[in-house]
Amino acid sequence: MTRNFGRRPPTIALMEQKEVLKALQRDHAAELKLAAERLAGTARHTEIIPSPTLSEMTGHEILLKPENLQVTGSFKIRGAYNKIASLTDEELARGIVTASAGNHAQGVAYAARERGAKATICMPTITPPLKVDATKAYGADVVLHGDVFDEAAAYAAKLSEEQGMIFVPPFDDYEVICGQGTIALEILEDVPNVTDIVVPLGGGGLGAGVALAVKTFKPEVRVIGAIPEGSPAYKNSLAAGRVMSADQVVTSAEGVAVKRPGDLPFALLNEFLDDIVTVSERDINEMILLMLEKHKLVVEAAGAVSLAALEHLNLRSRKFASAEGPHVVVPIMSGGNIDTVTMGAVIQKGMIARGRIMNFEVELPDTPGQLVKVATLLAKERANVIALDHDQFKASGHYTNAVSLGVTVETNGPDHIDRILEALKEAGFQPKRIY
C-alpha cells in the first residue's frame, strides 16, 4: 500500500539533530548545481537505456539509469568526489579515512587519488575480493574489520579521531548526498516526462540525494525506495518515524546491507520519499540474470534491487493532469561490481528458478545398458545432459546390486521438466527431483 512517509520529525540525538537541521536549511538548488559542476569531467553522465523487456513485463515504460557503467563501477564516485572536492588543502593533507562495503571505498580511493590525498578504507570482512582489490588498485590502504558495514564504520571513526584524518561518510553527509543527487538531475534532464524514479536504499545516501533533487526541481515526480526483505532498517525506521537499527541484516546485496540508516538521509527520506517496496532474494537474482541476457549488462545485487521492485510498484493511485497512459519509470542500477564466483552462483540459481536446469536422482539395476537407456530417453526428450554421477554406494537398497544415478540436465522450463520426469516414470524409473 502506498503511504506518505513524510511530515513526521525524526528522533535524532541532540548533536546530530543540530547538524541535520543545519544541513536541511542549506540552499539545496545551489548545492546540487555546484555538485554537478564539480563532477563535470570526473563522473560519467550515464545514458538512459530503454528496456522493452521490463516495459512489457510491467505495462509501463521502463528506462534504465545504468550507474553500473559509471567510473569505478557504481554511483558512489559522485558523492565521494563531491565531498573530497569540498575539502581545503589543509584537510586533504591530513589524509582521508572512510568505511565501505566496497563501492564507496572505490569512489573515495579514486577521488583521493585525483586530489592527491592519502586514503585509508575500512571494509567489513564480507566484502567481495573484487572490491577489495579494486580499491587497492586506486592506491588506497585497505583495512578489513568487522562482519558488517556498521562495525567497519565504527573502526574508521576511531581511526579518524586517533590520527586526525578526515572522515568521509558513505551516506550520512550533506556533500555526499548532493553528489548522489546529480543522478536525479541527469534523469530530469534526459527524461523530462519521467513519472517515477526507483532507487535502492541501504544507508540512504543515494535515495536521499535523488529525493532531495527531485523534490527541489520537479516535486511531482515520485521517488520510490526499494529494499531487500533481509535488510529491513529503512522500512522499520520510516514506519516508526525515527531511525531504527535492524536486529540483523541477511541479504546477498551487500551494498545495501546496512543495520542503521544515516540520520540526515533518514530526515530527507522521511520527508520526501513517496513509497517503499520490499523485494526477495529470488527477485534480485532474477533481475541480475535478466540484465545479462536481455541487455548484456553486469549488475550487482544491490544494483538489481530497484529492478526487482518494478513488478511490485503501486502506481494505480497516481493521477496525471497532462495525460493518461503508462508511467515512465526510471530504476537506478546503482552498481555493477560483482565478483565472478558470485555471478556464477547467481546465474545457476536463476537458471534453476526458471526451470532451465534440473537435477534428479534415479536408482538403476547394476546391469549393462541401464545408463544408455536413461541417456537415450533424455536425448529423445531433448534434455541436454550437463553432468552425471554414477555411484553404487549411494543406492538405498531398493534393488539388489543397485546403483544411484545423479543427472543434471539443461531444460526449457517447468513444462519441459514435467515431461522429462513423466517419460522416466513411464519407462519404469522412479526419478527424484533434487532441484
The tens digit of pLDDT for each residue in 123-171 reads 989 887 878 888 899 999 999 999 887 888 899 999 999 999 999 988 9
Domain identity same for 209 and 65: yes
DSSP, collapsed to helix, strand or coil, labels residue 237 as: helix
Contact 176, 76 (CB under 8 A): no
Kindly give the interhelix angle for 263-272 and 174-190, rounded to the nearest 10 degrees. 40
> 399 pLDDT exceeds 60?
no
Give the residue-averaged pLDDT of 174-195: 97
Within 13 Å and on the Cβ side, how many CA atoms surround 417?
22
Task: Check which CATH number belongs to the domain holding 197 and give it.
Answer: 3.40.50.1100
Minimum mean pLDDT among 53-67, 70-84, 247-261: which range? 247-261
Domains in the chain, number:
3
Domain identity same for 222 and 182: yes
Task: Report d(CA 66, CA 333) in Å as an integer.
Answer: 5
Domain identity same for 192 and 112: no
Domain end point (choices 138, 163, 188):
163
User: Catalytic amino acids?
Assistant: 76, 334
Domain identity same for 318 and 199: yes
> 356 pLDDT exceeds 60?
yes
Contacting residues for 115 by C-beta, under 8 A, at least 6 apart: 84, 85, 87, 92
Could you give the dihedral angle defined by the CA atoms of residues 320, 323, 325 and 331, in that order, rounded to the nearest 10 degrees? -50
Alpha carbon of 360 to those of 68, 144, 389, 395, 405: distances in Å? 37, 41, 10, 14, 8
CA–chain centroid gap for 78, Å, is 17
Comparing 205 with 315, the larger pLDDT belongs to 205
What is the overall mean pLDDT for the chain?
88
Domain identity same for 186 and 42: yes
Q: What is the pLDDT of residues 247-279, one digit of tens each?
A: 888 888 888 888 889 899 999 999 999 999 999
Comparing 297 with 7, the larger pLDDT belongs to 297
Q: Is residue 81 part of a domain?
A: no
Give the residue-averaged pLDDT of 364-381: 89
Residue 403, pLDDT score: 85
In the chain, count H helices and then E strands. 17, 14
Minimum mean pLDDT among 19-23, 67-71, 112-116, 429-433: which range? 19-23
Contact 85, 38 (CB under 8 A): yes
Which residue has 537407456 as its cell numbers?
Answer: 373
> 320 pLDDT exceeds 50?
no
CA nearest neighbour of 68 among 307, 329, 264: 307
Domain end point (choices 308, 337, 366):
337
Secondary structure letter of residue 317 according to DSSP: T
Q: Assign 396 a pLDDT band (cuts: 50, 70, 90).
A: low
Comparing 88 with 324, the larger pLDDT belongs to 88
Domain identity same for 115 and 260: no
Residue 426, pLDDT score: 93
Q: What is the pLDDT of residues 384-393, one digit of tens each?
A: 999 988 776 6
Task: Report d(CA 318, CA 331) in Å as an integer.
Answer: 17
Task: Report d(CA 125, CA 113) in Å as an integer.
Answer: 24
Domain identity same for 265 and 247: yes
Minimum mean pLDDT among 9-18, 131-140, 408-417: which range? 9-18
Give the residue-averaged pLDDT of 337-349: 87
User: Burial level of 355, CB count in 10 A (0-12/13-18/19+)?
Assistant: middle
> 15 pLDDT exceeds 80?
no
Which residue has 533434487 as its cell numbers?
Answer: 434
Domain identity same for 159 and 179: no
The bridge status of strand 275-279 relative to strand 61-66 is unpaired
Residue 394, pLDDT score: 64
Return the ∠ at Cα 69 (arms to 68 and 71), rounded to 5°. Answer: 105
Domain identity same for 158 and 179: no
Residue 14, pLDDT score: 38
Contact 233, 259 (CB under 8 A): yes
The pTM of the full predicted model, rounded to 2 decimals, is: 0.84
> 89 pLDDT exceeds 80?
yes
Domain end point (choices 309, 337, 365):
337
Q: What domain range is 40 assigned to?
A: 15-72+171-337
CB atoms within 10 A of CB 435: 11
> 201 pLDDT exceeds 90?
yes
Contact 260, 251 (CB under 8 A): no
Secondary structure letter of residue 6 according to DSSP: -
> 184 pLDDT exceeds 90?
yes
List, as one string, the DSSP characters of 161-182. Answer: HHH-PEE--SSSSHHHHHHHHH
